[in-house]
């Protein structure tokens, strides 16, 4: 290949790996060690760990692109130990497309049984689970979702764990019938015991991690919603949308909480559609819609008290 062709292929490969590329990939594609060293010296690339380079230093922002930030951790683990590496745990979940993970993931991977490698300080090298099954994503081996969940859930905070399980169900990556198997795979793992009460909180109707987090706040406050994804009926009797969390009042009307999340509702078009849907639902006279954002999750008392007052006001007035 010509130098231009090599450069294009390197760039395309790195783009598919969130800007990262391994030394062995560069070698296979014709980019020599001397040329890699030159790119690093000129500041065009940075060396992340031994054998892995960042071709887009400083271009991925954890606040603006949290999904990309998580995926970089997963790719870093996959690339650091060579082509036989297996993504596991939370990194595998990120590659499967699961929502609700912490933004900062420690890169973690496993190697096939019998393989040995020098540890990288930034990367956790797990032992290969007995019986672990794998699948292929973007040409690399990744723990199947059941094993990845079993590895990751015991090490998470409750809010992340429930959000991850909610999203796996909502996205159709697993079914309710798969959950007992995941729980069985958790047995004997460090931290598994503290997850026992979390499983009853899992609900695949939650359409986003922010909805899961809000629901857990209300559950903890003794005010669990009566239903999720309540159909909102317009004046013409047609369904115009679905309310995230809903409580039915004594008079039969509904209090609906809508969570405006960073990834969807903040888009101008989405906000317009949400306002339009809210106005139509309010015009129908059977629902009161209250909107919160992710920032309100850090001030849960005010949110809980407002909804408690709205839910029980008719009964107290009577």
The band of 317, judged by pLDDT with boundaries at 50, 70 and 90, is very low
Is the pLDDT at 276 greater than 80? The verdict is no
114: confidence class by pLDDT, cuts 50, 70, 90: low
Task: Provide mean pLDDT across the span 15-21.
Answer: 95
Average pLDDT over residues 255-261: 91
Confidence class for position 233, pLDDT limits 50, 70, 90:
confident
**What is residue 122's predicted lDDT score, i.e. its pLDDT?**
84
pLDDT category at 116 given cuts 50, 70, 90 is low
Which of the four pLDDT bands, split at 50, 70 and 90, describes residue 129?
A: confident
pLDDT at 145 over 90: yes
Lowest mean pLDDT among 94-98, 114-118, 151-155: 114-118
Q: pLDDT value at position 268?
A: 37
Question: Distance between CA 297 and CA 247 in Å, rounded?
Answer: 19
Does 315 have pLDDT greater than 70? no
Residues 176-189 have a mean pLDDT of 95
Average pLDDT for 153-164: 97
User: CA 199, CA 209: separation in Å to the nearest integer?
Assistant: 16
Average pLDDT, the chain: 88
pLDDT over 80 at 207, yes or no: yes
Query: Is residue 264 pLDDT above 50, yes or no?
Result: no
Does residue 261 surpass a pLDDT of 80? no
> What DSSP string runs through 204-227?
TT--SHHHHHHHHHHHHTT---SE
Res 63: pLDDT: 86
What pLDDT is stored for residue 12 in this prediction? Answer: 95
CA dihedral (194, 195, 201, 207) positive or negative? positive
Using CA atoms, how far apart are residues 269 and 308, in angstroms rounded to an integer?
Answer: 31
pLDDT of residue 119: 61
Compute the average pLDDT of residues 242-263.
Answer: 89
This prediction has a pTM of 0.87
Mean pLDDT of 258-262: 80
CA angle 141/156/186 to nearest 5° reads 65
Give the pLDDT band of residue 285 (cuts 50, 70, 90): low
| Other Cβ atoms within 10 Å of 237 Cβ, number | 7
Higher pLDDT, residue 266 or 221:
221
For the cut 80, the answer to whether the pLDDT of residue 316 exceeds it is no
How many residues are present in the chain?
318
Residue 271: is its pLDDT beyond 50? no
What is the spatial distance between Cα 248 and Cα 227, in angstroms, rounded to a whole number? 9
Give helix 145-152 / helix 179-186 axis angle, nearest 10°: 50
What pLDDT score does 5 carry?
86
Residues 6+ positions from 156 with CB-CB distance below 8 Å: 90, 102, 164
Return the minimum-mean-pLDDT range out of 41-55, 58-72, 252-266, 289-303. Answer: 252-266
Helix (H) or strand (E) segment spanning residue 242: strand 239-248
Long-range CB contacts (< 8 A, 24+ apart) of 145-149?
A: 145/92, 145/93, 145/96, 145/98, 145/173, 145/174, 146/174, 146/178, 146/181, 146/182, 146/185, 147/88, 147/92, 147/185, 148/88, 148/89, 148/90, 148/92, 148/93, 148/96, 149/93, 149/174, 149/182, 149/185
């Amino acid at each position: 290949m010509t130098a231009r062709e090599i450069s294009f292929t390197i760039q395309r490969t790195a783009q598919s790996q969130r800007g990262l590329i391994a030394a062995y990939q560069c070698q296979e594609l014709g980019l020599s060690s001397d040329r890699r060293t030159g790119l690093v010296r000129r500041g065009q690339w940075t060396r992340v760990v031994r054998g892995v380079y960042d071709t887009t230093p400083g271009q991925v922002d954890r606040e603006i692109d949290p999904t990309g930030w998580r995926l970089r951790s997963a790719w870093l683990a996959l690339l650091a130990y060579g082509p036989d590496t297996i993504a596991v745990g939370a990194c595998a979940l990120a590659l499967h497309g699961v929502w609700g993970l912490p933004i900062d993931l420690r890169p973690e991977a496993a190697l096939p049984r019998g393989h040995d490698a020098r540890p990288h300080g930034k990367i956790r090298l797990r032992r290969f689970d007995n019986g672990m099954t794998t699948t292929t994503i973007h040409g690399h081996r990744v723990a199947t979702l059941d094993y990845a969940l079993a590895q990751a859930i015991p090490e998470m905070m409750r809010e992340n764990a429930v959000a991850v399980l909610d999203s796996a169900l909502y996205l159709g990556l697993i079914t309710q019938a798969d959950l007992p198997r995941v729980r069985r795979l958790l047995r004997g793992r460090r931290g598994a015991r503290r997850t026992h009460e979390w499983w009853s909180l899992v609900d695949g109707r939650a359409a986003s991690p922010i909805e899961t987090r809000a629901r857990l706040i209300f559950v903890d406050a003794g005010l669990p919603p009566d239903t999720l994804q309540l159909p909102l009926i317009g004046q013409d009797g047609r369904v115009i949308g679905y309310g995230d969390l809903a409580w039915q009042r004594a008079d039969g009307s509904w209090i609906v909480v809508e969570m405006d999340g960073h990834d969807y509702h903040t888009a101008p078009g989405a906000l317009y559609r949400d306002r339009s849907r809210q106005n139509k639902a309010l015009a129908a006279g059977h629902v009161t819609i209250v909107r919160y954002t992710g920032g309100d999750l850090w001030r849960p008392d005010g949110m809980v008290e407002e909804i408690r007052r709205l839910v029980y006001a008719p009964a107290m007035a009577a």
